[in-house]
Structure 1
Amino acid sequence: MMMFWWFLALLLGPVDIYRAHECDVFTYLDLYHAIIGTSLYVKLLLYTRANLTCGQELSHHNLSAQPQFNLTKPTTFVVHGYRPTGAPPNWLNNIIEQLLARGDMNVLVVDWNRGAANINYLKVVTYSRDTADNLTAFIRNMQENGASLSSIHMIGLSLGAHITGFVGAKFNGKIGRITAVDPAGPQFNGKPPEDRLDPTDAQFVDVVHTDMDAFGFRKPLGHIDFYANGGADQPGCPLTILSGSGYFKCDHQRSVLLYLGSLNRTCNIRAFPCTSYTDFLDGLCMDCDQFKPAGCPVFGYDIIEWKESLVPLQQTKAFFTTNKQTPYCKTSYWVDIVTWNRDTRWGYITIKLHNGSEVTEATINHKASSFKKYSETRLLAQFEKDLQKVHKISIKFSRVNAFKPKYKLRVLRIRLTHLERKDRSVFRHILFPLKCHLFSTWHLFFYFSLSCC
């Protein structure tokens, strides 16, 4: 028998044989635990490319007890937030998989579900400080064993975002990066920097806001703060309480889905630095010359590539819009329209692009646009998807006041300019010169379409 194993080893070459380990999993609790309350216990689950689907709990004191924890590699901490039902986050496995697909690193899931599972949110907030102290001690141990603070990336979701800030402050901002995914607002809005996340907590802090009028934080907290769809109501989320629990959590949870989309690169979302969402929609913030040659910042995991440009600016607000569901990314065009009506016309525009088999649409209705004779009106149009070739354009014009008499909008020229493909001259402009005017129909709007020459 011994000869058999010797012969097999000779054929296969050197083989590392590991003793099978039982996987450690995220703490599963339920609503009962949340009602009676839970005491804090912090568990650190290690995932690497060698144990992608099998978490291993780390000792807080004996780091060498888990040989797969390699301190020479970058380490990413994932810190969840408030868990009012006690259930594990449904995005957990996805973010672990996507992070390890991006790089060879240690992914540490900070499981503080015993503490976060409590219907008493105020009690959970006090546990956030204790959780931060626990992580601080662990990272000091990492330092003592040769780890570099610069190689640490902390991703905090909701209440977890402030936990990462508390940890970062303990290290005087020397941690490499903090990513805050819709940081919690209740009990943190209006607080001073030492009582919440702020830009000094890491060498680079990036933040996304999706629910700032409810569960999220409203004001900027990082070197760059992304405001998806203005940072409040997200497309596709319920608008009334009649929709049930989704009405309360959809906007807040959208931040996680957007961040996952940036990780797996299903969406390359360009964001535009601006002072307000209204100015962004008005097309006043499309110039990103200060970020040449990289161009406008890309939302999500890859924003680190803009670090050297953003940190000197201290705090930058950036805006983008999304679709209702994945893929969330939209495509931006300038739309320049020249009309020849004698009187100024006011209204809203919906544009459809056709390529034969597909159609994509952009509605510009955040405010009424004015169209003056022989004057070019420039609008920002954000389409649901990016069509590689456009054969036809359809436009719907809606009047501001439905009770006024019908009128004509006479269009002389329409030009579309792709904002993200300026280096491709063949695709940069779609120009439609019109020789006829456009008439309103029996309805409150009209359609027209033209084929490209």
Structure 2
Amino acid sequence: MLWMWSVHSILPAILMFCMYSTVRAGGNESSTSSCADFNSTFWKDIPHGAKLQVQYLLFTRSNAECPSYFSTESLSDPGQQSLFNSSLPTKVIIHGYRAPGTKPSWVSPLAQALLRSADSNVLAVDWVYRSFMYSVLAEEYKEVALHVSALIKELKEHGSSLKSIHLIGMSLGAHVAGFIGTLFEGKVGRITGLDPAGPSFKGHDRYNRLDPTDALFVEAIHSDTDVFGISIPVGHVSFFLNGGKDQPGCTHSLSPLSLGYVVCDHMRAIHVYISALNGSCRLWGFPCPTYKEFLNGQCLDCKKTFNGTCPEIGLQQRSGIIIDPLPQEEKLFLLTTNAAPFCTHHILLELQVWPLSKSAEVQVTLSHQGHPDTKETIKLYTKNSMYKQVMAHPVSLCEVNSIHLKNTGAWYQKDEIHFMSLCISELLSSSKDTPLCVGSFNLMKGSLWSHELVRPCESQ
């Protein structure tokens, strides 16, 4: 019966225990007593008359694993001034809902990834509200934004520029970042929304949620649009991982009864962003109206919207804003694997079949020694003769050893399928190889067709 409740009903109860991979305060802590840490105060222990507690943790390259506490007074303290450098960019991490008494364990890995990517000041905003109800926090999030805005104003007065400020908000924190941007009239340099919260925000006007006017460049990474995340684009570019809903590895490797299963999709945006910052692979997004059209091979490049250069998650972190002119709320789709570093290659399969008298189904398999096979099922219909399908494969096409097709239609679909051609190519490949095409062949029900590929990579 749990899954029949509304999202608004189950959200606070679930998040009280596990939201954002938090860990319970106390016990064996990895940090030393000299390192700043997240507030472990329970909501009921917040002093009477105070609704909100906010503190800041400062990470720099000299203390990446041992943050220090930071405040406006720190700007005038000689000891803190040696850590905070106003001539460097400043990254501000803002977590979303978390149950008081827990700590968001993903913040430190994200801060360290940001510092590896670029020398900067990284400030983590640690906020605890007196109420643990998500519905209340979704109404009062602007109070957090006011606190952070006051700090940014002080940073500006001490030499930091608004253009050098990068706000990174997770879930509810993404909308906090958006309102901070609104308070500074959209002059903040950049905002990254990591699966911006959906409940209580999808129906809001732009003023009350993250939107492209909140910063000079706004990007969002969507990974759970059907439950905790928002389903509409909220940035200049919005990356929808695997369509933005169900993420690979979240539905099979975890038990549906586990709390990790519930937030796995929501958390994926964080982990993919960290991988992108680490430079593990290039995570390009393809502009397309819908995920279905993307999978059907109708959006194969970025020539129309981005002059041929597809936006890349984390790229602007390394080389500055390069998208000019900026689009408005552009939807971008990409595929990932089921585990870090989430790297995948987008393989385009094109089939041309002789007109069918009955619908059919084929299973396509790409094989590579040392990696699991990639399988994709394609439905064939009587009215179509041309088919395109985008597949995710862990290695480049030039490393694929063989391709297999199997006629997997129902028992009554006994007609032979006549293929006039089969072509495979890799989207955005640096290789100058032309698509590999195979001539006509037939496939009976239950039979298997295989073709060995010999395409050595240019680097070999």
Structure 2 contact 224–244 (Cα < 8 Å) conserved = yes
**Given the alignment of the two structures, is residue 101 of structure 1 paired with residue 116 of structure 2, yes or no?**
yes
Question: Is 1:383 aligned with 2:380?
Answer: no
Structure 1 position 137, deviation (Å): 0.9
Amino acid at match of 1:369: L
For 1:37 and 1:412, locate their aligned partners in 2 and report how far apart those are by CA, in whole Å.
76
1:307 deviates by 4.2
Q: Is the 8 A contact 1:362 1:384 kept in 2?
A: no
Compute the displacement of 1:242 (Å): 4.2
User: Which residue of structure 1 lines up, in the alignment, with residue 426 of structure 2?
Assistant: 418
In structure 2, do the counterparts of structure 1 residues 222 and 142 end up closer, same or farther at CA, with 3 Å as the change threshold?
same
Give ranges in structure 1 of 5+ residues lacking alignment. Answer: 1-19
Structure 1 partner of 2:437:
431
1:111 matched residue in structure 2: 126
Q: What SS is found at the alignment partner of 1:352?
A: strand
Aligned-partner residue type, residue 380 of structure 2 = S
Does the CA contact (< 8 Å) of 2:413 and 2:445 recur in 1? no
Q: CA shift at 1:294, angstroms? A: 5.7
Structure 1 residue 433 displacement after superposition: 3.0
Q: Distance in 2 between matches of 1:291 and 1:204?
A: 16
Give the superposition deviation at 1:84: 2.7
Amino acid at match of 2:348: W
Written as runs of structure 1 = structure 2, the 5 A alignment for 1:163-182 is 163-182=176-195
Q: Structure 1 residues 310, 183: closer, same or farther in 2, change over 3 A?
A: farther
Name the SS for the 1:233 alignment partner: coil
Residue 325 of structure 1 aligns to which amino acid in structure 2? Answer: A
Q: Give the conservation status (yes or no) of the 8 Å contact 2:301–2:427.
A: no
| Structure 2 residue identity aligned to 1:179 | T
Q: Is the Cα–Cα contact under 8 Å of residues 221 and 269 in structure 2 kept in the other structure? A: yes
Give me the TM-score of the superposition, normalised by structure 2.
0.82
Distance 1:323 1:369, change over 3 A: farther
Question: What is aligned with 1:324?
Answer: 338
Q: Partners of 1:104 and 1:317 in 2: how far apart? A: 30
- How far 1:226 sits from its partner (Å)? 1.2
- Residue 154 of structure 1 is aligned with which of 147, 156, 167? 167
Matches within 5 A, 1:262-277: 262-277=276-291
1:92 & 1:295 partners in 2: Cα distance?
A: 31
Partner deviation per Cα, 1:211-256 (whole Å, 9 max, x = no partner) = 1222111211110111112222222224899423234212111111
Question: In structure 2, how many angstroms separate the alpha carbons of the residues matched to 1:313 and 1:369?
Answer: 36
Contact map agreement 2:287 2:305 (CA 8 A) in 1: no
Q: Aligned match of 2:232 in 219, 227, 231?
A: 219
**What CA deviation, in whole Å up to 9, does each residue of 1:54-87 have, x standing for no partner?**
1111122451211211101100000000003631
Q: Distance in 2 between matches of 1:160 and 1:73?
A: 23
CA distance in 2, matches of 1:62, 1:105: 17
* 2:247 is the counterpart of 1:234: yes
Alignment of 1:79-94 (within 5 A): 79-84=94-99, 86-94=101-109
Q: How many residues are aligned here?
A: 418
Q: Secondary structure at the match of 1:407?
A: coil
AA aligned to 1:186 is P
Output the aligned Cα RMSD.
3.0
What residue in structure 2 maps to residue 451 of structure 1? Answer: 452
Q: Which amino acid aligns with 1:185?
A: G
Find the residue that maps to 2:421 and give its secondary structure. strand
- Cα shift at 1:107: 0.4
Q: Distance in 1 between matches of 2:311 and 2:277?
A: 15
Match of 1:408 in 2: 416
Taking structure 1 as reference, are residues 412 and 306 closer, same or farther at Cα in structure 2, changes over 3 Å only?
farther
Give 3-state SS (helix, strand or coil) of 2:387's partner. strand
Contact 2:363 2:376 in 1 (8 A): yes
Please state if 1:257 is matched with 2:271. Answer: yes
Pair 1:369 & 2:380 matched: yes
From 120, 143, 150, the counterpart of 2:156: 143
Mapping 1:20-99, distance limit 5 Å: 22-29=34-41, 39-65=51-77, 66-67=80-81, 68-84=83-99, 86-99=101-114
Verify the 8 A CA contact 2:57 2:67 in the aligned structure 1: yes
Secondary structure at the residue paired with 2:444?
Answer: coil
Contact 2:237–2:332 at 8 Å: present in 1 too? yes
Deviations along 1:158-179, whole A, 9 cap, x unmatched? 1110111111111100000000
Q: Provide the rounded CA distance (Å) in 2 between the counterparts of 1:332 and 1:37.
A: 55
CA contact (8 A) 1:210 1:232 kept: yes
Q: Distance in 2 between matches of 1:278 and 1:449?
A: 28
Distance in structure 2 (CA, Å) of the matches to 1:105 and 1:154:
13
Give the letter aligned to residue 338 of structure 1: Q
Change (3 A) 1:299 1:59: closer
How far off is 1:267 after superposition?
3.2
- TM-score with structure 1 length normalisation? 0.83
Distance 2:251 2:134 in 1: 24
Taking the aligned partners of 1:127 and 1:196, their CA distance within structure 2 comes to 12
Asked which structure has the greater CA Rg, the reply is 1
Shift of 1:38: 8.5
Query: What secondary structure is seen at the aligned counterpart in 2 of 1:71?
Result: coil
CA contact (8 A) 1:209 1:231 kept: yes
> Percent identity of the aligned residues?
33
Q: Which blocks of at least 5 consecutive residues in structure 2 are unaligned?
A: 1-31, 455-460
